[in-house]
Amino acid sequence: MIIIMEPNSTEAQAKKIVEFLKNNGFEIRFNQGQVHTVIDAIGDKTTVTPGRISGFDGVKEVKIIREPFRLASRDRKPDDTIIEFSNGVKIGGKNKPVTIAGPCSIEDYDGLLKAAIAAKETGCEFLRGGAFKPRTSPYDFQGHGEKALEYMRKAADETGLLTVSEIMDASDLDMMCNYVDVLQIGARNMQNFKLLQAVGKCNKPVILKRGLSSTIREFLLAAEHILYQGNPNVILCERGIRSFDSAFTRNVMDIASIPVIKRYSHLPIIIDPSHGTGQRYLIEPLAKAGLVVGADGVMIEIHHDPENALSDGKQSLPLSMFKEVMNNLNEFYKKNTP
């Protein structure tokens, strides 16, 4: 931690900080520059955060040296985290990237089954589907709840797929664990810390989606909340960030975040080009872009009848188009694997 004092700060103010830091076990170096006094606090105490030190009088700024995420950091665990499921499917490391497909929301069993069959046939490992939907407006469809989860479990069992669904509230945790193989935390809940703590206390794998305006550091700190509670099975998901331009795409996919996160963290990361772009024609190219930079999987929204979808029809692939995309992705993956 490096503390930069205001130009007009006093010696007494600097002393007070130095004393506090020493009492908390830091080793101190004191540098008097032309304009600023700079205090180096060497040591690593998660309990004395930069935020605390910046409350002292005379402080202009506190700069961190070490990234604040620890359990999620590759410094601490150099090997890739690999998550293995009961049926042998694995996510992370050098394993083949997985595909997660399914409708934005689960509407009826027959439609869902069609999607599940298409997913299985094209080599997907997971069926996704929303039972509880976070919706910007209260007038939008909110999901069919537990009934939808029953449908999903049944369709997945019939086809031999694993299941993924979003959890919106800690009180649903036990119920949901009966139906899903992977819990998903949505972008809007990335900093719903009660929910992070709750899923951190179970051991189901969790897909954690990046918040709309979350920095990479905040994203890894959100994962840290889950890891800190004891659940090591976190799968990150890049799904686009908010920018100043939404005329042609819903969000901006931060493709570079994937190799960045691979460098600084051991956690697997997948890509969601459906939400990331909001446009059908961009799903295949962005999925490939994600794979090429190292994503451990792809999540794709599909629908057996997008024109009658109750949510996200615009970005859902119809099944025929989905099969074509999957063929292209499978071929692309084969070509580009040593």
Judge contact between 81 and 90, C-beta under 8 A: no
Judge contact between 38 and 2, C-beta under 8 A: yes
DSSP letter, residue 68: S
Give the residue, chosen from 312, 317, 322, 329, that forms a contact with its own copies under the rule CB under 8 A: 312
| x-or-dash string of contact with its own copies, 79-108, rule CB under 8 A | ------------------------------
> In this complex, which beta carbon is closest to its own copies, that of residue 118 or of residue 310?
310
> In this complex, which beta carbon is closest to its own copies, that of residue 164 or of residue 221?
221
Judge contact between 196 and 222, C-beta under 8 A: yes
Cα–Cα distance for residue pair 68/252, rounded to 1 Å: 26
Judge contact between 238 and 263, C-beta under 8 A: no
Residues 17-46 that bind its own copies (CB under 8 A): 20, 29, 31-36, 38, 40, 42-44, 46
Binding region for its own copies (CB under 8 A) out of 91-99, 107-115, 138-146, 230-238:
138-146
> In this complex, which beta carbon is closest to its own copies, that of residue 22 or of residue 194?
194
Binding region for its own copies (CB under 8 A) out of 90-98, 108-116, 145-153, 300-308:
300-308
Cα–Cα distance for residue pair 21/53, rounded to 1 Å: 9
> In this complex, which beta carbon is closest to its own copies, that of residue 94 or of residue 263?
263
> In this complex, which beta carbon is closest to its own copies, that of residue 27 or of residue 157?
27
Residues 148-207 that bind its own copies (CB under 8 A): 168-171, 188-189, 191-194
Binding region for its own copies (CB under 8 A) out of 109-117, 145-153, 158-166, 240-248:
240-248
Strands 297-303 and 59-63: unpaired
- Tell which residue, 307, 309, 298, has the closest CA to residue 275: 298
Cα–Cα distance for residue pair 192/203, rounded to 1 Å: 18
DSSP letter, residue 230: T
